[in-house]
A = this chain, B = another copy of it.
Amino acid sequence: MLLKTIVSEGLAHHSYLVGGGDEAAIVDPSRDVDRYLEAASDAGLRITRIFETHRNEDYISGACELAQRTGATVWRGRSPDFDVPYAKVAEEGKQFEFGDLRLKVLYTPGHTDDSISVVLVHTETGDSPVGVFTGDALFVGDVGRTDFYPDRAEEVAGLLYDSLHDKLLPIGDQAQIWPAHGSGSVCGSGIAKREFSTIGDERRNNPKLQLDRKAFIEAKTSEHHYKPPYFERMEAANMGDSPGLQRLPRPAPLAMQQLERSLANGAQLLDLRPGQSIAGACIAEAIAIPLPMLAAFGGWFLDSQRPIVLLLEQASDRERAVRTLVRIGFERIDGFLAGGADSWATAAKPLQALHGIDVHQLKKRLAGDQPPLLLDVRSIDEYEQGHIAGAEHHYVGQIEQKAPDLPRDRPIVTYCKSGKRALVAAAALRRLGHQEVSVCWGSIKAWQAAGFELTDARKAS
């Protein structure tokens, strides 16, 4: 029996290859399916089955293309609302046996109506489940979001409670859980920084599993989640035949002249350099998102109707950039600037500073006569758990919408937890014409490390 986790970095999306005998099943494949084909071939396994635990909203599924290229069947849960043309419906309890293993489908709705979990039994050793693929129902330390059906908020929270308590916990303490997301995903803010867990561990320690049904529903319906605008395109893609890639786009290196032509023709410039490089030499018109943050924030800022040209720290970043973009539905990538930011500079293109300040400087400026406008760009939950006195809250993903309301004649300083989201927000404001924007390096972590205090908004209110 072979189990292999295949991670989409940034999305913190976990897909799985599970092999028995000479066959493999893939659970929740992402759109760049070459890596599943490669992993299966390396192990000498044919991919014969693909499971989608639910209609994914944060990335485009590769199930359809993978099925076409392998002859495998795609299995999904039943949805009251829609059919997925490339997939078959697996009824609850349906079993699949191959080699020394058995998979069994459980219906675990709540996150979505069509959510399933897939139980794994290793028949070589016994009949009790050794693990379960939990999709977005149960994570390590958290449970799935239930905010996708605002009209049925309590109902779906209740459905998830029942799925957890009536379907998943009964599998037994001994079973591993293999969720669709790890720490860092937008699909669960409380996911623990651990890559493994068991039903028993979650039963004991998952905060959400300690609540009774009523408290659980209350908790879930009062949660706040952000939903990036690209989610709707993903859902649509994943309900129909999502467009196959056939092969990964291979962006060409562009000379400055070509880049300019591309921009003139409507392309958007996406600057993926590290945050400190962006700050050091800032291209005002670029959408600036450091590469490791692209999966989480690209969908907030990029325009799906326009092609993309890339500014990379180094040419070797291009594959990672491309994989990230295609997973979240951006495959029109015209190319990348050959020579990167150095080419930009030596072509005498304008470069501006996006000032960075440390917390000591920030503290001093806040205490001065003309304190800057301080923006906390974290999630509202984080803000409410404690922030720097005087800070306004505007979530980084929504900063573009807020920008017109922000004063143009007053310096702005952005902060977040460690400075990363603050940089993205500051760059966005810069792009939208705010001249005096600074990012606070280290942000809340540094603020606390320096021994400065936070205001507890909950106490204050």
Q: Is the CB of A197 within 8 A of B348?
A: no
- A contacts with B, residue count (CB < 8 A): 97
Q: Is the CB of A347 within 8 A of B246?
A: no
How many angstroms between the C-alpha atoms of A360 and B350 in the bound complex?
7
Cβ-based interface call for A196 (8 A): yes
Chain B residues whose CB sits within 8 angstroms of the CB of A275 once the complex forms: 280
How many angstroms between the C-alpha atoms of A386 and B315 in the bound complex?
32
Q: Quick one: closest B residue to A173, CB to CB? A: B173
Q: Quick one: closest B residue to A2, CB to CB? A: B195
Cβ-based interface call for A100 (8 A): yes
Binary CB contact string for chain A from 310 to 327 against chain B (1 if under 8 A, 0 otherwise): 000101101000000000
Cβ-based interface call for A385 (8 A): no
**Which of B38, B172, B339 is the one whose CB lies under 8 Å from A173?**
B172
Enumerate A168-185 residues with CB–CB distance to B below 8 Å. 172-176
Q: Is the CB of B204 within 8 A of A346?
A: no
How many angstroms between the C-alpha atoms of A349 and B40 in the bound complex?
25
Q: Is the CB of A193 within 8 A of B100?
A: yes
Q: Is the CB of A345 within 8 A of B419?
A: yes
A258: min CB distance to chain B, Å: 8
Enumerate A413-452 residues with CB–CB distance to B below 8 Å. 418-420, 441-443, 445-447, 449-450
Q: Is the CB of A342 within 8 A of B419?
A: yes
A56: min CB distance to chain B, Å: 25
Cβ-based interface call for A276 (8 A): yes
A6: min CB distance to chain B, Å: 15
Chain B residues whose CB sits within 8 angstroms of the CB of A195 once the complex forms: 3
Q: Is the CB of A348 within 8 A of B449?
A: yes
Enumerate A192-212 residues with CB–CB distance to B below 8 Å. 192-201, 203-206
Given contacts A346-B418, A446-B345, contact A126 B281 (CB under 8 A): no
Q: Is the CB of A205 within 8 A of B173?
A: no
How many angstroms between the C-alpha atoms of A385 and B195 in the bound complex?
41
How many angstroms between the C-alpha atoms of A40 and B253 in the bound complex?
8
Cβ-based interface call for A355 (8 A): yes
Cβ-based interface call for A125 (8 A): yes
How many angstroms between the C-alpha atoms of A205 and B199 in the bound complex?
17
**Which of B34, B124, B192, B315 is the one whose CB lies under 8 Å from A193?**
B124
Given contacts A100-B193, A276-B277, contact A446 B346 (CB under 8 A): yes
Chain B residues whose CB sits within 8 angstroms of the CB of A352 once the complex forms: 358
Q: Is the CB of B130 within 8 A of A201?
A: yes
Binary CB contact string for chain A from 329 to 371 against chain B (1 if under 8 A, 0 otherwise): 0000000001101100111111111111111100000000000
Q: Is the CB of A200 within 8 A of B174?
A: yes
Q: Is the CB of A247 within 8 A of B246?
A: yes
Binary CB contact string for chain A from 5 to 23 against chain B (1 if under 8 A, 0 otherwise): 0000000000000000010
How many angstroms between the C-alpha atoms of A338 and B22 in the bound complex?
8
How many angstroms between the C-alpha atoms of A204 and B173 in the bound complex?
11
How many angstroms between the C-alpha atoms of A350 and B345 in the bound complex?
28
How many angstroms between the C-alpha atoms of A418 and B274 in the bound complex?
21
Q: Of the listed stretches A41-49, A149-157, A296-304, A396-404, name the one at the interface; the rest are far from the partner chain.
A: A41-49
Give 12 A-B pairs besides A70-B252, A173-B173 with Cβ atoms closer than 8 angstroms: A22-B255, A44-B315, A128-B201, A173-B198, A176-B198, A247-B247, A276-B281, A279-B280, A345-B419, A346-B449, A350-B358, A351-B358
The 6 closest A-B CB pairs, nearest first, are A174-B200, A280-B280, A126-B205, A279-B280, A44-B338, A345-B442
Q: Name 20 A/B residue pairs within 8 A (Cβ), A-sorted.
A: A22-B255, A37-B252, A43-B253, A46-B254, A69-B250, A124-B141, A124-B193, A125-B206, A126-B204, A130-B194, A176-B198, A200-B200, A276-B278, A342-B419, A345-B441, A346-B443, A346-B449, A348-B359, A348-B442, A350-B360
Q: Name A's B-contacting residues (CB within 8 A).
A: 1, 3, 22, 34, 37-38, 40-46, 69-70, 100, 122, 124-126, 128, 130-131, 140-141, 172-176, 192-201, 203-206, 246-247, 250-255, 258, 273-281, 313, 315-316, 318, 338-339, 341-342, 345-360, 418-420, 441-443, 445-447, 449-450
